[in-house]
Structure 1
């Protein structure tokens, strides 16, 4: 019997690139690959379920699941992570020097429910006492071209969210002084996103971004994951070996990426610029882990934040969508 022919959509980031370019194969599978920006992939999956396997927004998947969606099975591969709050942009002349200065201000977001926004709001609230209801939100993505539109988003109680028109962009509004901050922005065009980073009029809220991310990593012990990998449930029911083979392939791709980094840093180690401890951390994959065990705390925090921010009525953990064959990863 031949390999399964499956469609697959993902952004070609370095950790997954070996799967994307064929250097690492998913055993038993021939892939038709679409290299797609995450925002576009998620919308196409949430609206039309176009692909057999894809990268997926963890927040939007949780929201859809809480509303009864059951088309997807999760492989605990987390190809993207950031401390999103550290990238908040503020207008240079807005007089905003700390998170507290955002209280009462107008801020933009591409998609209120996107995972990065959930993480950013959570840290701003728990670490800086800035609640989502303390700001007036402007959402740039339109209902027909947004993850929220695909899952029936309505603003949480007590939070003011204004829908921008298709002619408006957050970057132009920031330049004109109509908003004071971009809590998140996508720095490249997609089907859904039309703003460009307004670096001519904006600066980061956290001037020393590295200091802030180091603080949060020391506190939490993880960098917030925002994407996972999903497979059509009907495929898993017909081919129960598929999730494990996908997990193994992505794990091999990540290992190859880390080994390449370690090799590239060899001269830095020999010169004493990079210590052996840092190199060993790369090879041990302590910052970019896949599987459930190493991500247990991160997944629990995200589930709590989704409920706390009024985006889901019942608590959904990504782990409940993982097949039994991968529960011990």
Structure 2
């Protein structure tokens, strides 16, 4: 994605919401199609060190909290949800970003965090999990909650912010009605202007591909997932037959929210309309 943001050499590219919104706000001629390949309850990926006096997300105030990068879409969702659903104030947190300099999306976009946000890069770009395990951070947004195989290593002092991520995910879905998406697909404006049919055709192709995958899921559960069929049934019971809908209409509430969070967190100064962000005819 950083390569695309630097050169714009690809006609079509998967892109994170944060980068897409920031690039468009700078005047880049790109348009998205309402296809969302990545979703999750990203705030449940927060973990904390047991000696950090953290009992809830609100306790992150005045703590050292690691994130992969400020502009990262998963971090945007996680901060916004912890702020609005759990009372965390992002302006009272000392943030540490793992990615910085030329390796960061923010650097490619020339992005600067808003005034009042305290953020610095981890020393030498040190990874978040080792820092959290060593209590050099109090909490961090990580892709996998570390676990010690022996129960007595440094990772044994790391705990998930939400002990039962399924319960928390269901709470969020029941309250808000969607699973947050952090990526979409964008088309360069010059390509779409020249070939106006591309947006609708791509959207239809992604819809058909998703239908094929959903149909084949029950027959393709890895044998190593002993209760895979049960978890698939439970997932569909919680979220319906299609928990990953495409299109603008079925995702409007989610899209309004990620735009809101992006403005609140300083990625953009003004909120675009959803119609400005997505190619027409993909409702």
Q: TM-score, normalised by structure 1?
A: 0.75
How far apart, in 1, do the equivalents of 2:138 and 2:273 lie? Answer: 34
Match of 1:89 in 2: 47
SS of the residue aligned with 1:216? helix
Deviations 1:249-292 (A, max 9, x none): 11011101111125569xx9xx9x958x839932xx2x110000
Please state how far the C-alpha of 1:177 moved relative to its aligned partner.
Answer: 1.7
Match of 1:313 in 2: 269
How far apart, in 1, do the equivalents of 2:239 and 2:20 lie? Answer: 34
SS of the residue aligned with 2:240? helix
Instruction: Verify the 8 A CA contact 1:142 1:166 in the aligned structure 2.
Output: no
Please state how far the C-alpha of 1:168 moved relative to its aligned partner.
Answer: 2.3
How far apart, in 1, do the equivalents of 2:71 and 2:279 lie? Answer: 25
How far apart, in 2, do the equivalents of 1:205 and 1:279 lie? Answer: 22
Identify the structure with bigger relative contact order (alpha carbons < 8 Å, sequence gap 6+).
2
Residue 150 in structure 1 maps to residue 98 in structure 2: no
How far apart, in 2, do the equivalents of 1:111 and 1:44 lie? Answer: 17
Please state how far the C-alpha of 1:98 moved relative to its aligned partner.
Answer: 1.5
Match of 2:23 in 1: 64
Please state how far the C-alpha of 1:157 moved relative to its aligned partner.
Answer: 1.6
Residue 171 in structure 1 maps to residue 129 in structure 2: yes
Please state how far the C-alpha of 1:317 moved relative to its aligned partner.
Answer: 4.3
SS of the residue aligned with 2:184? strand
The 1:261–1:278 alpha-carbon spacing in structure 2 relative to 1, beyond 3 Å, is farther
The 1:179–1:274 alpha-carbon spacing in structure 2 relative to 1, beyond 3 Å, is closer
Residue 243 (structure 1) aligned to one of 177, 199, 207: 199
Deviations 1:284-322 (A, max 9, x none): x2x110000000110011111111122211113454132
Instruction: Out of 215-224 and 237-246, give the one that drifted further.
Output: 237-246
How far apart, in 1, do the equivalents of 2:45 and 2:54 lie? Answer: 14
Please state how far the C-alpha of 1:164 moved relative to its aligned partner.
Answer: 2.6
Instruction: Out of 156-165 and 293-302, give the one that drifted further.
Output: 156-165
Instruction: Verify the 8 A CA contact 2:100 2:125 in the aligned structure 1.
Output: no
Instruction: Verify the 8 A CA contact 2:59 2:88 in the aligned structure 1.
Output: no
Instruction: Verify the 8 A CA contact 1:299 1:317 in the aligned structure 2.
Output: no
Match of 1:117 in 2: 75
How far apart, in 1, do the equivalents of 2:103 and 2:128 lie? Answer: 16
Aligned length: 267
SS of the residue aligned with 1:108? strand
Instruction: Out of 308-317 and 235-244, give the one that drifted further.
Output: 308-317
Residue 199 in structure 1 maps to residue 147 in structure 2: yes
The 1:92–1:279 alpha-carbon spacing in structure 2 relative to 1, beyond 3 Å, is closer
Deviations 1:209-253 (A, max 9, x none): 111111000000001111111112211111111111111111011
Q: TM-score, normalised by structure 2?
A: 0.86
Instruction: Verify the 8 A CA contact 1:83 1:213 in the aligned structure 2.
Output: yes
How far apart, in 2, do the equivalents of 1:46 and 1:239 lie? Answer: 22
RMSD across aligned positions (CA): 2.5
Residue 185 (structure 1) aligned to one of 132, 142, 156: 142
Match of 1:211 in 2: 167
Structure 2: unaligned runs, 5 residues or longer: 149-154, 222-226
Match of 2:5 in 1: 46
